[in-house]
Amino acid sequence: MKLTEPQINTLIVSGMLIQYMSGKMTPEEVLSSVIDGINAGDLDSLMTLYEPLACFASQPGQLAKSPEGIRESLRGFIDMNGKLDLKVKRVLKASDLALVTSEWSFSGTGSDGKHVDITSKSADVLRQQPDGTWRFVIDNPWGTD
């Protein structure tokens, strides 16, 4: 699937500079952008996929509830210099919300130099923005186990 080049927009929320992508992306395209961002090591583009008040389940039962916490959690994946594969299984939409379930696997190298293989099923909540794009409200990579 070829995505059109999104435009990066900027806004300020509670004194924080937030960048986000514009373009008419679907929830599936947002998840595809996660694959691209993790595999390319592009943390800045990944951060554009999150609402300013989004949360990220960094570990089962642990939530990062700030852009800085989300950035740190995503950095953990990027630092393993691996490859993410993800397949969207279902998208349930209601009004401006979408519940997206997927199965994913990641293969990389841990900070100790040992090979790491992770697989899981995720449950994510995305919200459609006024410009028609979709962004994460809740990113739970450990969501259905």
pTM of this structure = 0.82
DSSP state for residue 49 in the 8-state scheme = T
CATH number, residue 50: 3.10.450.50
Report pLDDT digits (tens) over 56-97: 999 888 999 999 999 999 999 999 999 999 999 999 999 999
The total of structural domains in the chain comes to 1
pLDDT tens digits, one per residue of 21-43: 555 589 999 999 999 999 999 99
Let me know if residue 21 belongs to a domain. yes
Please check whether residue 1 lies inside any domain of the structure.
no
Whether 34 is covered by a domain: the verdict is yes
Look up residue 70 and give its amino acid: I
In a domain, 26, yes or no: yes
Tell me, yes or no, whether 145 lies in a domain: no
2 inside domain:
no
Q: Which domain holds residue 111?
A: 7-140
Q: Is residue 63 part of a domain?
A: yes
The sheet with strand 115-128 has its strands ordered as 62-64, 50-59, 134-140, 115-128, 97-109, 83-94
Q: Flag whether pLDDT at 1 surpasses 60.
A: no
